[in-house]
Amino acid sequence: MNIPLNQILYGPPGTGKTYSTIQKALKIIAIKDKDLKKFLDSSPSREELKDKFDEYRKNGQIEFITFHQSYSYEEFIEGLKATTNENGNIEYNIEDGVFKSLVEKAKTKSEANIDEKIDWLKEELLKNDIDISENTSFKLQYTGGKTFRVTPEKTKNPDAKYPVNIEKIKKLYKNEIEHREVYNGSYAVGILEYLYKNGLKKYNDLKDDFTNRNFVLIIDEINRGNISNIFGELITLIEPSKRLGNKEALEVKLPYSKDTFGVPKNLYIIGTMNSADKSVAPIDGALRRRFKFIEILPDSKKLKDNLEDINLQKLLEAINIRIEYLYNREHTIGHSYFMNINNLNDLKEVFKNNIIPLLAEYFYEDWEKIKLILNDNKDKFIVELKDANNYLKNIQDSFEDKKLYKVGDIDKLEISDFKNIHE
């Protein structure tokens, strides 16, 4: 399957872009997951797809985030986070962001159980301290947070508690760093030796099989974030040719942790973008060059052709053709607004709460254009405030063409009023 590593689904609101990411993410996972492929081939329902999607999110192969204007590099890649230790002092620890965490999972051998064993050790230490005799004898403690505490057996200060960073232990296990790069590294080695004795599989003995699983990062509303600030120097690393394992692979040294960082080729990125959003136009050029853009348009064929004698397919087509004529295609209305309509009251609610407010936003409350779009020649959806003329006699001469409107009483509309939109 020729699926791009980086893709962005874009289109008007209500076309099902976010839901499409569920299907696409599962198809990507299924490339290397035979059981999932069988599941997808069985034509599962929308609810079953969502349940399966949640299952893969839970096991860590799919991550879903939403960009916004204040979303930062520190949240996405890595940054410093202040915490209070058991002595009440503030400590600054380096914390991995969403993207870096998923990259590390995608690069990890699937049988590695370091996280499981670290969690087990934490639970044991919360019950009692443990005496460890590997290499250097010491007492190990854990009281919460991101560090274990060590008291050497041969120490002049029995109250001494030397910290050993848990994330550094994991990196040491994966051969990403050497023990001399870890503060109190000899104790980190001793902790790993203790875990090996209690069921931890040695990393070098594991099959190098991380490429046998695919991972997916979904970024909803990707255009709302400041791409240059969020991705930083890593925007180049997501290019297919620069992924780890390729001839032109690139790695960079991260500013906080100083870790060497690259992006594997089994990590896919799917973004969504609302084409009606005003922030689309100035989108970062670097993003455009590195992503394949896939347009998702309204699909009236997914709607009912007879809802109490109203043809929803023709209704949506009529509205969108007029919007495209008076404005543009990017501001049409998606079919998902009409997907779960079962009766006339449902249709009234959608027009009152979604369609008319959306048109008012698109056309900056130019109600005359909105009346044209709804073919509202009987003043049913949009009503002219003729009574207001009594208060405007002294100023109407200067604004001869100006009229005041209000949204009509949608709840009182009849079937014929909606049929009139497309007939």
Alpha-carbon torsion, ordered 33, 38, 44, 46, to 10 deg = 10
Select the more confidently predicted residue: 359 or 258: 359
> What is the Cα Rg of the chain in Å?
29
At 145 the pLDDT is: 86
Using pLDDT thresholds of 50, 70 and 90, give the confidence band for residue 402.
confident
- Provide the token pair at 295: 């347009």
Please determine, for residue 412, whether its predicted confidence score (pLDDT) is greater than 80.
yes
Please determine, for residue 207, whether its predicted confidence score (pLDDT) is greater than 80.
no
Please determine, for residue 346, whether its predicted confidence score (pLDDT) is greater than 90.
yes
CB 103 within 8 A of CB 264: yes
Please determine, for residue 284, whether its predicted confidence score (pLDDT) is greater than 70.
no
At 281 the pLDDT is: 47
Q: What is the average pLDDT value for the chain, to the nearest integer?
A: 88
At 400 the pLDDT is: 64
Stretch 161-174: mean pLDDT, rounded? 89
Distance of CA 150 to the CA centre of its chain: 39
Select the more confidently predicted residue: 108 or 127: 127
Q: Which of 145, 146, 138, 143 is nearest to 186 (CA)?
A: 138
Stretch 193-197: mean pLDDT, rounded? 91
Please determine, for residue 199, whether its predicted confidence score (pLDDT) is greater than 90.
no
**Angular region, 129: left φ>0, alpha ψ -120 to 50, beta rest:** beta
At 80 the pLDDT is: 85
Contacts of 170 (CB under 8 A, 6+ apart): 114, 115, 118
Q: List the single range of 97-101, 146-150, 151-155, 163-167 with lowest mean pLDDT.
A: 151-155
Please determine, for residue 94, whether its predicted confidence score (pLDDT) is greater than 50.
yes
222: number of CA atoms within 13 Å, CB side? 27
Stretch 212-219: mean pLDDT, rounded? 93
Q: Work out the angle between the directed axes of helices 17-30 and 34-41 (0-180°, nearest 10).
A: 130
- Provide the token pair at 254: 């991260």
* Model confidence pLDDT, tens digit, residues 219-277: 999 988 888 889 888 889 999 999 988 889 999 999 988 888 999 999 999 999 988 77
Select the more confidently predicted residue: 400 or 82: 82
Q: CA-CA distance, 139 to 194, in Å (whole number)?
A: 12
DSSP 2-38: ---SEEEEEESTTS-HHHHHHHHHHHHHHTT-HHHHH
Q: CA-CA distance, 261 to 254, in Å (whole number)?
A: 7
Q: In this structure, how many other beta carbons lie within 10 angstroms of the beta carbon of residue 285?
A: 10
Q: Which of 167, 158, 218, 221 is nearest to 13 (CA)?
A: 221
Q: List the single range of 56-60, 136-140, 384-388 with lowest mean pLDDT.
A: 384-388
- Return the beta strands (E) in 29-160 as ranges: 62-66, 78-84, 90-96, 130-132, 138-141, 147-152
- Provide the token pair at 258: 């100083």
Please determine, for residue 365, whether its predicted confidence score (pLDDT) is greater than 50.
yes
Using pLDDT thresholds of 50, 70 and 90, give the confidence band for residue 42.
very high
